[in-house]
Amino acid sequence: MAGGRAKGLGCGVLITIWLALLLPMGLPAATSAPPLTPPQRTWLAKAERHEKGGWIYLHIEGGPRERGFQYGYLLAPEIAQGLKGDRVTWEYRTAMPWGWVVKKASAMYAAKVPLEYLAELGGIAEGMRAAGVDVSRDEILAYNAMYELIWYWWPEQQKRLKKAPTTPPLQEGCSAFIATGSMTADHGIVMGHNSMQDYSYPLPDVILDVAPDKGHRILMQTYPGWIHSGTDFFVTDAGLVGTETTLGDYEGYEEGGVPEFVRMRRATQYADSIDQWCAMMKDGNNGGYANAWLLGDVNTGEIARLELGLRYVGFQKKSDGYFTGSNVAVDPKILRFETDERETDIRVSGVARRVRWHQLMAQYEGKIDAKLAERFEADHLDTYLGKEQPDGRTLCAHYDLDADPKFGTPFSPSGSVDAKVLDSAMAKRMSFEARWGAPCGRAFDAGQFLKQHPQYDWMRDILPSRPSQPWALFTAGETK
């Protein structure tokens, strides 16, 4: 399915070929897919899939079941691979079966998911089954909530099972900034972000253009099969832009609330302003996937930072200046009462990166534009060592090259896996630029890495290589 608007049987033939190649790797079981119905053919005729610069661009539209079906059918192989990666990672890290967490997630979250999004999740599963992949709605639901489950919910369960204190898993990091007013070359908003994660996790290689029948159109980066962004990077036709970085060394979670993936998607689809977006994110907050959100309104030039813990919330908004994100909480109550962050220990990645952000903002005040944002996200200056060296402390992170990460595992196959930037002019056209793979363009060879570091052999079937790719521009509604 290399490009062009989806055309029914032609898509199905290619998906069948892909699945025949992928299913021997342990993906969800293939089924004998029935012929597409006339309504399904009509739905698919409205969708678009093509590939560019390592990314999959996907346009979906319409009602929740309709757009979900388009999503599941057109990305069935990639979603199946993502499910496999999450299943292997979950079972390795927790020693609990995948079916167990799927049932737990459904019991906890299904009643908290609005009917619109249950239908969209169900539509994804329906589309995948139509493409020959046997998967349930509950699996897609658990998959969408995986960050929340493995980083926030599971540590609380582990304490009960072990009947002893446990150390929460290290939440993944990101490097992000947003600037406006006198900080930028044109006095508009400039925003940049790169995602830091385990390379074995499903890669966030989808640029998703969602045109729902209700609410605002969204262009966002995401993982195959997710209905929220997760990384996060988005722009909406309301003029809102946003990204985030996780709150590092954070601990706090309450069952019974609304999962983060629902709150993020609902806010992004329905909010008309920064304040509305933040109110929707706080409604039902359960502490899951606790982030510092960097937000902007290109209609007003305002930017904001929402730090959303469990018990405490930090919020700032301005029309001139900048905010940065590097996984260190700024709000003093969140920092002292909800994290164990060592905010002055420059050996720690988040602190080293925060120092670097402030250096860059001071150095380029009044000059920041999208091209500089690309350079920022690819930066390799280690402020602890005081020299250029790609490692776990640089904005473009490379833990796989780090023999002595101070706080972490040597040569961990993790780091920055993408980069995205936009300015106000792009956002008003509902577009942004993105680079797949390391922001600096460095390639990652999984086979060579495992040969050098056999302690990670358990990842052999889920660790992908990443060739170097160029920056690419994406716009809502584009065709190949």
Side-chain half-sphere exposure of 5, counting CA atoms within 13 A: 11
Poorest-confidence range of 225-234, 322-331, 340-349?
340-349
Please check whether residues 135 and 65 belong to one and the same domain: yes
Q: What tens digit of pLDDT does each residue of 435-449 get?
A: 999 999 999 999 999
pLDDT value of residue 401: 96
Q: How confident is the model at residue 201 (pLDDT cuts 50, 70, 90)?
A: confident
Percentage of the residues of the chain whose pLDDT score is greater than 90: 85
pLDDT in tens, 361-409: 999 999 999 999 999 999 999 999 999 999 999 999 999 999 988 777 8
- Per-residue CA distances from 203 to 85, 227, 240, 265, 312 (Å): 10, 15, 25, 19, 31
Question: Are residues 193 and 113 part of one domain?
Answer: no
Tokens standing for residue 53: 């610069």
Banded model confidence at residue 150, pLDDT cuts 50, 70, 90: very high
Q: Tell me what the mean pLDDT of segment 16-37 comes to.
A: 59
| Residue 165, domain member (yes or no) | no
Quick one: 346 and 422 in the same domain?
Answer: yes
Indicate if the alpha-carbon torsion angle 385, 389, 391, 397 is positive or negative. positive
Q: Is residue 106 part of a domain?
A: yes
pLDDT score of 162: 76
Q: Does 166 reside within a domain?
A: no
Let me know whether 407 and 366 are in one domain: yes
In a domain, 467, yes or no: no
Q: Is the pLDDT of residue 13 over 80?
A: no
Does the pLDDT value for residue 302 go beyond 80? yes
Check whether residue 43 and residue 99 sit in a common domain: yes
Most trustworthy range by pLDDT among 71-75, 202-206, 336-340, 407-411: 71-75
CATH of the domain at 406: 3.60.60.20
The total number of structural domains that make up the chain: 2
- Same domain assignment for residues 427 and 325: yes
* Claim to verify: residue 209 and residue 333 sit in the same structural domain: yes
78 and 197 assigned to the same domain: no
Structural domain boundaries, residue 318:
174-461
Residues of the chain with pLDDT > 70: what percent? 91
Reply yes or no on whether the pLDDT at 16 is more than 60.
no
Instruction: Kindly state whether residue 263 falls inside one of the protein's structural domains.
Output: yes
